[in-house]
């Protein structure tokens, strides 16, 4: 699980971790008491006039928008709709500085860059001022006629790679009872998987995540099929085979009818998030306030989340859509690579906050209840680990979550990594997640070490005490001769920023660091 908002209009207390290596994004500020997301939701339902227009909606000109650009009178525009975000200033986890970047102007680009997954329409619906006025040209200028349809450029969201042959491609074959669709990624794919398949009402949607790109297949199948889907990966050659059973034994004359974005190669950040309904099937206690929730996908869905990436959970709470990112874990630290890639059940280690926006809702779910789950998101790449000899992981609290699968992967699949060390910060012993599993793994595998640091230990605690500081990192981070080191950091924002600063003071470069932001 992740506990982290890092963007332009995030909900207070939102949860995410994943940013480019070493890039800290915007800071999360300490909110005043009574200014959580739930407090904001209740405030919007108080009946107070949050727009200053007494319920009227107006058409806003560019000149009018620019007049509202101060801390006490702040309007912004997102996708043609204007909002008075002044009341939201004290509820915004990024602080007023982030909101002021879009004051009196169009904030769409800023919003999309950093927090496109937030449902701002739901969050800010009581702050809606109106629609931006459409500019009508006063004179018709002489312009060249538009090119014929055959010469139209591709949509801007489509980014053709420099080498056309590097684009993935697909093919299909069939028997009388099955249809097999094969994707050739033309590169190695992660053993944790990178494919999402959804088959519903005869529509097949396949997405393959390849670095910063997304390859999409989207078809209405030619004939009726069984609802089950199986996915088989050949990781080293980059081949993915999706198998579907026909309802009627006969040969098809075609695979089906292409739908939107079929056979496209898009930047991952440009494609829309796609949600499907998962079902809660089990809930296992990890410690006094943290659980592993196991969710089962709908029939016809196979979802493989690459290591270090997350999914979004979405729920409607008090008529407001709340979305949070969480990083999946495996069933245990000893789960094999093969079993984790073939199991489409989703395991999420989630700390329940009594005053949180989404976690009390999750904690109150009954077995069989549904929850909307997105496809994978995130920027983490395994490529930097290929030549690493020493992997250091610095985690605080639930910042351990993205480290869990990374530890297993480093021990099972990267023989070049001679040592993986976890420095795990918590308040007390009861807060340490998967402590028994970590201790057992350390005892049975000489390539893994774990050390705990407690800020509020009991008198009987004999391990390290305190918080992250220069001397502690100096003892923990050792650079043997002829070694290549990589460091991953995850925890609350203040922890992550301080740790990154100390690491850079110790001589670690941007290329040697990755921060799962919080």
Band (389; pLDDT cuts 50, 70, 90)? very high
Provide mean pLDDT across the span 256-280.
Answer: 92
Residue 118 domain-assigned? yes
CATH code for the domain of 245: 2.60.40.790
Q: Is residue 12 part of a domain?
A: no
Q: What is the per-residue pLDDT across 415-457, written as a single tens digit (0 to 9) for each?
A: 999 999 999 999 999 999 999 999 999 999 999 999 999 999 9
pLDDT one-digit tens code per residue, 286-301: 999 999 999 999 999 9
Same domain, yes or no: 302 and 236: no
Buried b (16+ CB within 10 A) or exposed e, 308-341: bbbbbbbbeeeebbbbbbbbbbbeebebebeebb
Phi and psi at residue 172, in whole multiples of 5°?
-145, 155
Q: How confident is the model at residue 154 (pLDDT cuts 50, 70, 90)?
A: very low
- pLDDT at 273 exceeding the cut of 90: no
19, pLDDT greater than 90: no
- Could you tell me the residue range of the domain that residue 86 belongs to? 37-132
Say yes or no: 505 and 406 in one domain. Answer: yes
The predicted structure's pLDDT at residue 29? 57
What is the pLDDT, as a whole number, of residue 114? 64
Q: What total of structural domains would you count in the chain?
A: 4
Quick check: pTM over 0.85? no
Q: What pLDDT was estimated at residue 7?
A: 33
Q: What is the pLDDT of residues 87-115, one digit of tens each?
A: 988 888 777 788 888 889 998 887 776 66
- Asked if residue 158 belongs to a domain, the reply is no
Task: Tell whether the model's pLDDT for residue 413 goes beyond 80.
Answer: yes
CA distance 8 to 6: 7
pLDDT category of residue 335 using cuts at 50, 70 and 90: low
The residue to which tokens 């995410």 are assigned = 16
Q: Report the alpha-carbon distance of residue 211 to residue 234 in Å, rounded.
A: 17
Which range (163-172, 178-187, 356-365, 401-410) has the least confidence?
A: 163-172
Q: Is the same domain home to 338 and 413? A: no
Q: Answer whether residue 481 is part of any domain.
A: yes
Is position 96 within any domain? Answer: yes
Domain membership flag for residue 2: no
Do 422 and 353 fall within a single domain?
no
Containing 242, the helix (H) or strand (E) segment is strand 239-246
Residues 508 and 389 in one domain: yes
CATH of the domain at 92: 3.10.120.10
pLDDT digits (tens, 9 = 90+) for 40-87: 888 888 888 888 888 888 899 999 999 999 999 999 998 888 999 999
Phi/psi of residue 411, each to 5°? -80, -30
Q: 268 vs 136, which has greater pLDDT?
A: 268
């Amino acid at each position: 699980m992740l506990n982290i908002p890092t963007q332009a209009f995030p909900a207070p207390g939102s949860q995410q971790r994943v940013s480019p290596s070493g890039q800290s994004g915007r800071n999360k500020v300490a909110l005043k008491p009574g200014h959580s997301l739930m407090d904001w939701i209740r405030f919007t339902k108080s009946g107070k006039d949050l727009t200053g227009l007494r319920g009227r909606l107006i058409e806003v000109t560019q000149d009018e928008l620019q007049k509202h650009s101060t801390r006490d009178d702040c309007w912004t525009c997102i996708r043609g709709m204007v909002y008075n975000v002044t009341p939201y200033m004290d509820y915004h986890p990024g602080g007023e500085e982030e909101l002021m970047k879009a004051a009196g102007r169009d904030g769409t680009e800023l919003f999309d860059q950093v927090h496109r997954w937030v449902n701002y329409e739901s969050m800010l619906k009581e702050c809606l001022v109106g629609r931006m006025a459409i500019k009508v040209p006063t004179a018709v200028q002489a312009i060249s006629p538009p090119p014929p349809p055959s010469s139209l450029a591709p949509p801007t969201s489509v980014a053709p790679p420099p080498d056309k042959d590097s684009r993935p491609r697909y093919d299909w074959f069939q028997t009388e009872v099955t249809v097999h669709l094969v994707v050739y990624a033309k590169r190695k794919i992660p053993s944790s998987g990178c494919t999402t398949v959804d088959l519903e009402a005869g529509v097949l949607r396949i997405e393959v995540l390849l670095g910063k790109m997304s390859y999409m297949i989207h078809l209405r199948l030619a004939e009726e099929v069984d609802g089950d889907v199986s996915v088989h990966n050949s990781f080293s050659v980059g081949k993915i085979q999706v198998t579907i059973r026909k309802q009627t034994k006969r040969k098809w004359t075609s695979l089906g009818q292409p739908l939107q974005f079929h056979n496209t190669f898009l930047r991952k950040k440009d494609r829309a998030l796609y949600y499907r309904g998962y079902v809660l099937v089990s809930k296992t206690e990890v410690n006094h306030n943290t659980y592993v929730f196991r969710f089962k996908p709908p029939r016809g869905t196979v979802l493989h989340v690459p290591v270090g990436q997350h999914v979004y959970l979405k729920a409607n709470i008090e008529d407001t859509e709340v979305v949070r990112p969480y990083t999946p874990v495996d069933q245990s630290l000893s789960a094999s690579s093969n079993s984790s890639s073939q199991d489409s059940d989703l395991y999420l280690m989630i700390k329940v906050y009594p005053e949180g926006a989404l976690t009390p809702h999750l904690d109150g779910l009954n077995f069989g209840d549904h929850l909307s789950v997105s496809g994978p998101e995130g920027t983490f790449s395994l490529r930097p680990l290929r030549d690493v000899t020493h992997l250091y992981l610095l985690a605080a609290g639930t910042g351990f979550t993205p480290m869990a699968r990374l530890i297993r992967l480093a021990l099972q699949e990267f023989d070049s990594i001679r040592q993986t060390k976890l420095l795990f910060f918590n308040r007390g012993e009861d807060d340490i997640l998967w402590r028994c599993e970590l201790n057992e793994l350390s005892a049975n595998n000489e390539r893994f070490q774990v050390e705990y640091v407690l800020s509020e230990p009991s008198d009987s605690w004999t391990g390290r005490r305190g918080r992250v500081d220069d001397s502690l990192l100096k003892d923990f981070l050792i650079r043997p001769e002829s070694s290549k080191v990589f460091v991953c950091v995850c925890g609350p924002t203040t922890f992550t920023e301080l740790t990154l600063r100390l690491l850079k003071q110790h001589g670690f470069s941007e290329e040697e660091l990755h921060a799962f932001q919080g």
